[in-house]
Amino acid sequence: MPLSFEDHLADDITVVKCTGRIVEGVASSALLKHVNDLVVENPYVLLDLGAVDFIDSSGLGLLLRCLLRARNANGVFKVCGDSPRIREALKITKLDSVIELYATEAEAIAAFYVSSSAKDAPALKATVLCAEQSIDVLAYVGALLRQAGYPVVTTGNLADGLTLLTATRPKLVVIGATLRAARDTRAAEAFNKLADTFAVIELPAEFSSHDAGEAGRRFLDRVRAILGDATPC
């Protein structure tokens, strides 16, 4: 199968899901260019190889070039996917000591939030996880928290939210009322059950219609009551 790839964001991490064969040619060159373009804007990149059924030596070289490109941009590059073929290729070439293959996307994302190797950028940090369907509300609340000095990760859905919650183990979860009430999917059920073990601030359904300044002040007062004043980021 020819190589194809598509992206999704898990907060500050761009996940690139690849399907097909990573072999020398136009498609692999396109993947390398794509990663090069990504790290200009965001140097935290995860390549999901779970649906890759073959990789040749040039493909392994491509992974190394992606790794170096991310490091040169002061970022982190990781790979995931439960692929025995790729795991064996890394082992035989002894590149498994350079490129660690994580079994799942969740495990790889968690690794972005723990101490990195000396060659990598510092691990990502998160004191607050914010989950909210409205892109505008998510942007506003995220900006409030960052301006107040709290490291924050944000998500608009509970599937990614569950991965981030498990990975970051934040001190506080901020969640919109609609997502907090959701139990209609396995991810929603698991997220909200796990969130019950953390401090939670639920944003009311009418939050977006409140006076912005007053709503922001009251919200940060609640955050400080739980976390105390933040050390500036």
* Residue 203 parent element (H or E): strand 199-203
* Per-residue pLDDT, 11: 84
Three-state DSSP class for residue 3: coil
Spans of the chain below 70 pLDDT: 115-123, 231-233
Tokens of 226: 């739980």
* Per-residue pLDDT, 108: 92
Q: Is 3 left (phi over 0), alpha (psi -120 to 50) or beta?
A: beta
Sheet strand arrangement including 13-22: 4-10, 13-22, 44-55, 76-80, 101-102
CATH class of 128-227: alpha beta
The ranges assigned to domains in the chain are 4-111, 128-227
Query: What is the pTM (predicted TM-score) of this model?
Result: 0.74
**Nearest residue to 66 via CA among 93, 48, 88, 87:** 48
* Architecture of the structural domain at 4-111: 2-Layer Sandwich (3.30)
Give residue-wise pLDDT tens across range 147-167.
899 999 999 999 989 988 988
Give residue-wise pLDDT tens across range 18-58.
999 888 888 888 999 999 999 999 999 999 999 998 888 88
